[in-house]
Copies of this chain bind each other. A is one copy, B any other.
Amino acid sequence: MASACSVKSAETAADSVDLVWSDGHHSQFHFIWLRDNCPCPNCLHPQTKERTFDVMTIAADQPDLNALDLQKEQLVISWKDGHVSEFRTDWLRLNCYSKSAREARREKPILWAATVKTALPEIEYEAVMKNDSGLLAWLDLLVDYGFVLVRNTPTVQGEVTRVANRIAYLRETNFGRDFDVISKPNPNNVAYTALKLESHSDLPNWELPPGTQFLHCLEFDAEGGESTLVDGFGAARQLEKEDPAAYEILAKLHIPFRFHDQDWDVQWSAPTIARDQLGDLQEIRFHAALTAPLDLDFDDVLPFYRAYRVFTEIIRRSDNILALKLQPGDLLVFNNRRALHGRAAFNPESGPRHLQGCYVDNDSVLSKRRTLRGKT
């Protein structure tokens, strides 16, 4: 839509070029911003698309503009030093940094509660594996909802990796490149027991916890063991509404997490609720089992516990918890930094329960989605 727009007028102001578009939108581009983003082969490496222009070669903060020439699909700027920059107008529109353009580029997650069960974001394995449009449909659901159920995945060892590799290479962790979730005799992690797991995010003790988690059900004939998911972003928005002070505390205080065994001692501190500079939710880090002894200012300890209890109570509300008994062939894919996951206890004597899992970075998911959008 934006690319179909044309520029109606282009004028120079004190330190910017001001454009009015055929749909009424206004854009202002600073002279220095334009000079710095000149797309000519001397300024932008033609193969690598990397900037080779050095902004330090401009004497002052602001380059001097000589002439502006608005053509049908491009804006040509002649600089006083003789350099000429030709900008495609559709590129300018895409990169407009007006308030409304920036606002329109924000991701808008679809928040959900337990009722999402009646209309699960789901897709067939065949669609994901066969072509680019199926792959893109899957990633769109994943980005919007923070989880997707992939149905009818062959119950073959290692299949989870092949699905994940549709996106990118795996994100390795101290648990390896992939992992089996079964109850083990000497577990180094409660996931490898048959105990109930409260909703949590995995590996909060890493600076960047793995983004997208894959859990592929190969066998499940045990009593109990339902998988649970809670929309951490939804829960955070509820907290913000019900108890804004608690929300601010959890967005501010850095909470230490730690995992340690024979070979590893991985520690990181981060807020429970992370927001980006526009206030959009970026991440929920929530895992009581791996929370290290709080290392906060004395005066922050009781306020943290109070806020944490309010948030935990919201996360545990039954109408926030989606419970799914995975069937062999179900592959649950979710954003580990948004959708908190857990499971009911199960009776390991009653039958087998075997999931295979792996991770891929969210950067890789978003990258693949961008390249597919360019193609499809």
A145-153, A328-336, A366-374 - interface stretch = A366-374
Chain B residue nearest to A209 (CB atoms) is B208
Is A361 positioned at the interface, with any CB of B under 8 Å from its CB? yes
Chain B residue nearest to A313 (CB atoms) is B56
Rounded to whole Å, the gap between the CB of A145 and the closest CB of chain B is 20
Q: A97-B298, A207-B363 are in contact. Are A61 and B309 (CB under 8 A)?
A: yes
Is A362 positioned at the interface, with any CB of B under 8 Å from its CB? yes
Chain B residue nearest to A62 (CB atoms) is B302
Q: A30-B301, A306-B61 are in contact. Are A367 and B48 (CB under 8 A)?
A: no
- Number of this chain's copies in the assembly equals 2
CB neighbours (8 Å) of A268 from chain B are 363
Of residues 81 to 118 in A, which have CB atoms within 8 Å of B's CB atoms?
95, 97-99, 102, 105
Q: Are A370 and B47 in contact (CB under 8 A)?
A: no
Q: Are B291 and A51 in contact (CB under 8 A)?
A: yes
CB neighbours (8 Å) of A363 from chain B are 206-207, 266, 268
Rounded to whole Å, the gap between the CB of A299 and the closest CB of chain B is 10
Q: Which of B99, B302, B364 contacts A32 (CB 8 A)?
A: B302
CB neighbours (8 Å) of A61 from chain B are 302, 305-306, 309
CB neighbours (8 Å) of A349 from chain B are none
> What CA separation (Å) do A266 and B313 show in the bound complex?
37
Q: Are A51 and B288 in contact (CB under 8 A)?
A: yes
Q: A47-B186, A54-B198, A290-B50 are in contact. Are A298 and B28 (CB under 8 A)?
A: yes
Q: Are B51 and A289 in contact (CB under 8 A)?
A: yes
